């Protein structure tokens, strides 16, 4: 893979906060295959860029380690000169293309009116006259069409030579498989074996640590993954022992230290996923998903396989307090169409959720992992991926009067609550719901069966209630958050907000009028 990546950026693009993240990281890593053509026309919607900025853009890029150049954006020969010079640069390149917005418009060129307003018939006629364009709308003259096709054909020999080199390479078949989204069978086999190990050993650990074990298997079984973290590697558990970090000028590794650049990280992941041949994943704290949200939304809109690893997924964060404790984030992220938000309960479900994320090549996934330890709730091994349907019956009872619905770390609370109810002669069943989006895609019959018709529903999740009502019905109860969190040890914070087995039992009894 020896091509370069070209970006056409506007004045507005380079004012956005994410531009600072991308520019500094690209300069640090010396991404010499990146060439940015800046449409330098000094106009935004409000008017001249001088209304809102006085930044020396060339100086800004130079300070970040970029090579810079300036050309006349209306002179094809000068643009070609700058692009030719950029081919041999040892750093990313910015080419400032000096242009006049709305060039040729008699009354609007060089002003914000050329930015977004419809020109109208009179202005269109004037522009045609100014540019000497006498052809009817949507007509391309034959001579121009032939010239464009000839230019396109100039690239054919280059493409043919590249294909010849690729096909003659010893790893051609492996390369073709990677760009066709084909995963080695060893990935699935390794994750199933990990599930069996987890079910047998029943470890108690945070799901972020279970994720690290799953990644050890995944990264060892395929070279396609490229991991990273926004300066939280030890906390996200995203770097495994079998991969090295990428460094300036050295791209042999498969891990990126993105720095404190959540938005830039998520955008870079999307770019890699769109390119193909790699599977990017990147980590941060769940509460910081807000910084990355525009790129997460775009991943879902574009339908790309970006895997967002969000650890510290609840008030279980503990002493860092409410600024770092996500409460509204699960609901907000679940609202994004085409995004698979998965919150596994233990190591077994964690392996299953990673398998799901890897298996959806046209859909992004967001994996929400706990900081605090959780018990193993899946103690009987099955090769089948039970999480793949979004929700399933974890513990059944034909005589159940109560159904506990829970996700992630709260599934363990549901297990304890069921045991307490059993001592009081009240039968209950437990449904684990790691992925609402997948559950909603199942048949109505399956959903009804899993939710347990005729039973009282008690939902347990250390987050806001939004979204749960669809499953609770008229008699259901919700155990969760109704405010921001608080600072303290995780167990104490859970008790403070009445997210406990005892609270779930009390809610169930009240719903049954048995209190």
Q: Give pLDDT, residue 416.
A: 99
Catalytic residue among 21, 123, 212, 262: 262
Q: How far apart are CA 363 and CA 381, in angstroms?
A: 28
Ordered strands of the 67-72 beta sheet: 5-9, 34-40, 93-98, 67-72
CA dist 44 to 19, 102, 255, Å?
Answer: 16, 12, 37
Q: Which residues of 478-507 are buried (b: 16+ CB within 10 A; e: fewer)?
A: bbbbeeebebeebeebbeebebbbebbbbb
Same domain, 152 and 23: yes
Taken as a whole, the chain contains a residue count of 515
DSSP-derived secondary structure for 471-496: HHTTT-EEEEESS----S-HHHHHHH
Q: Give pLDDT, residue 182.
A: 86
Closest CA to 435 of 349, 325, 327: 349
Same domain, 149 and 196: no
Q: Give pLDDT, residue 1.
A: 87
> Is 262 assigned a catalytic role?
yes
Same domain, 394 and 363: no
Q: Give pLDDT, residue 116.
A: 83
Q: How far apart are CA 249 and CA 302, in angstroms?
A: 30
Same domain, 345 and 417: no
Same domain, 312 and 225: yes
Q: How far apart are CA 283 and CA 304, in angstroms?
A: 17
Q: How far apart are CA 14 and CA 19, in angstroms?
A: 5
Same domain, 144 and 201: no
Q: Domain of residue 276: give its range.
A: 185-368
Same domain, 344 and 401: no
Same domain, 356 and 395: no
Q: Give pLDDT, residue 514.
A: 66
Q: Give pLDDT, residue 370.
A: 99
Same domain, 326 and 399: no
Q: Give pLDDT, residue 340.
A: 99
Same domain, 209 and 358: yes
Closest CA to 382 of 212, 216, 198: 198
pLDDT tens string, the chain, 515 residues long: the values are 889 999 999 999 999 999 999 999 999 999 999 999 999 999 999 999 999 999 999 999 999 999 999 999 999 999 999 999 999 999 999 999 999 999 999 999 999 999 988 999 999 999 999 999 999 999 999 999 999 999 999 999 999 999 999 999 999 999 999 999 889 999 999 999 999 999 999 999 999 999 999 999 999 999 999 999 999 999 999 999 999 999 998 999 999 999 999 999 999 999 999 999 999 999 999 999 999 999 999 999 999 999 999 999 999 999 999 999 999 999 999 999 999 999 999 999 999 999 999 999 999 999 999 999 999 999 999 999 999 999 999 999 999 999 999 999 999 999 999 999 999 999 999 999 999 999 999 999 999 999 999 999 999 999 999 999 999 999 999 999 999 999 999 999 999 999 999 999 999 999 999 64
CATH number, position 405? 3.40.50.920
- Write down the pTM of the prediction: 0.96
Same domain, 392 and 454: yes
Ordered strands of the 225-229 beta sheet: 255-257, 225-229, 279-285, 307-311, 365-368, 340-342
Q: How far apart are CA 73 and CA 98, in angstroms?
A: 5
* 375 found inside a domain: no
Q: How many domains in the chain?
A: 3
Same domain, 236 and 284: yes
Asked if 187 and 221 touch (Cβ cutoff 8 Å), the reply is yes
């Amino acid at each position: 893979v020896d091509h370069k990546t070209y970006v056409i950026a506007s004045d507005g693009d380079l004012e956005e906060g994410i531009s600072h993240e991308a520019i500094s990281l690209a300069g640090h890593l010396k991404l010499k295959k990146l060439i940015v053509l800046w449409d330098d026309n000094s106009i935004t919607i409000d008017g001249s860029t001088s209304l809102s900025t006085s930044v020396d853009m060339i100086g800004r890029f130079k300070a970040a380690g970029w090579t810079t150049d300036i050309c006349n954006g209306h002179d094809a020969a000068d643009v070609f000169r700058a692009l030719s010079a950029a081919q041999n640069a040892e750093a990313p390149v910015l080419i400032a293309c000096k242009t006049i917005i709305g060039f040729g418009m008699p009354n609007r060129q060089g002003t914000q009116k050329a930015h977004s307003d419809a020109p109208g018939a009179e202005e269109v006629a004037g522009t045609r006259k100014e540019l000497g364009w006498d052809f009817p709308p949507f007509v391309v003259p034959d001579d121009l069409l032939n010239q464009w096709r000839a230019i396109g054909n100039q690239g054919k020999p280059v493409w043919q030579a590249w294909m010849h080199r690729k096909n003659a390479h010893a790893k051609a078949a492996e390369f073709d498989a990677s760009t066709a989204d084909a995963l080695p069978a060893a990935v699935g086999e390794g994750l199933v074996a990990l599930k069996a190990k987890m079910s047998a050993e029943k470890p108690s650990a945070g799901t972020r640590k279970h994720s690290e074990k799953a990644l050890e298997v995944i990264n060892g079984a395929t070279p396609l993954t490229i991991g990273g973290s926004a300066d939280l590697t030890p906390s996200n558990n995203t770097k495994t022992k079998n991969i090295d970090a990428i460094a300036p000028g050295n791209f042999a590794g498969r891990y990126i230290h993105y720095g404190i650049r959540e938005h830039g990280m998520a955008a870079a992941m999307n770019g890699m996923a769109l390119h193909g041949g790699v599977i990017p994943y990147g980590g941060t704290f769940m509460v910081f998903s807000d910084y990355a949200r525009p790129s997460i939304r775009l991943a879902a809109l574009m339908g790309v396989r970006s895997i967002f690893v969000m650890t510290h997924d609840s008030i279980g964060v503990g002493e860092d307090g409410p600024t770092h404790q996500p409460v509204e984030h699960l609901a907000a992220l679940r609202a994004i169409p085409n995004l698979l938000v998965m919150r596994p309960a233990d190591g077994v479900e964690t392996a299953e959720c990673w398998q799901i994320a890897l298996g959806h090549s046209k859909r992004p996934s967001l994996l929400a992992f706990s900081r605090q330890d959780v018990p193993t709730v899946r103690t009987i091994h099955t090769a089948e991926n039970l999480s793949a349907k979004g929700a399933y019956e974890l513990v059944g009872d034909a005589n159940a009067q109560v159904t506990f619905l829970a996700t992630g770390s709260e599934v363990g609370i549901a297990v304890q609550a069921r045991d307490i109810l059993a001592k009081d002669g009240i039968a209950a069943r437990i449904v684990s719901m790691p992925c609402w989006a997948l559950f909603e895609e199942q048949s109505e019959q399956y959903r009804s069966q899993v939710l347990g018709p005729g039973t009282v529903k008690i939902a347990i999740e250390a987050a806001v209630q939004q979204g749960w009502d669809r499953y609770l019905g008229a008699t259901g109860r919700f155990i969760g958050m109704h405010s921001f969190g608080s600072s303290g040890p995780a167990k104490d914070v859970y008790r403070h907000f009445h997210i406990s087995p005892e609270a779930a039992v009390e809610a169930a009894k009240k719903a049954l009028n048995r209190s």
